């Protein structure tokens, strides 16, 4: 399974969460659904309502997970003696701070 993050607006007349489920400080602006596959193969699902700054933090978390996935894929391709030149070039263009060159 690929990690995923979904944001949606919500009806403030029907659903009235008082605080962001992530930071418990700001009022929420979005509902969210974050799903990730843990190292042990189990799925982790987190849902709730979040503020704009926590939405950005959740998106950054997804970006880090994707960068790790791409780096692991590159290592596997290297192990299979495949030419990874273009893949590495693309990975570093997408995730410039993702580690080894």
DSSP string, 27-92: PP-EEEEEEEE-TTS-EEEEEEEE-HHHHHHHHHHHHHHHHHHHHHHHHHHHHTT---HHHHHHHH
**DSSP letter, residue 97:** T
Half-sphere exposure of 52 (CA within 13 A, CB side): 0
pLDDT top residue among 97 and 57: 57
Q: What is the pLDDT of residues 35-94, one digit of tens each?
A: 998 878 889 999 999 999 999 999 999 999 888 888 888 888 878 777 888 878 888 888
- Judged against a pLDDT cut of 70, whether residue 1 lies above it is answered with no
Task: Give the pLDDT band of residue 2 (cuts 50, 70, 90).
Answer: confident
Q: Which residue has the higher pLDDT, 70 or 5?
A: 5
């Amino acid at each position: 399974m690929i990690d995923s993050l979904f944001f949606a607006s919500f009806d403030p007349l029907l659903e009235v969460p008082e605080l962001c489920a992530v930071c418990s400080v700001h009022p929420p602006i979005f509902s969210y659904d974050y799903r990730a596959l843990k190292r042990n193969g189990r799925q982790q699902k987190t849902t709730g309502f979040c503020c704009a700054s926590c939405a950005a933090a959740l998106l950054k978390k997804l970006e880090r997970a994707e960068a790790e996935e791409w780096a692991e894929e590159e290592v596997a391709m290297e192990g299979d003696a495949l030419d990874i030149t273009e893949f590495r070039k693309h990975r570093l263009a997408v995730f410039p701070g993702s580690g080894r060159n």
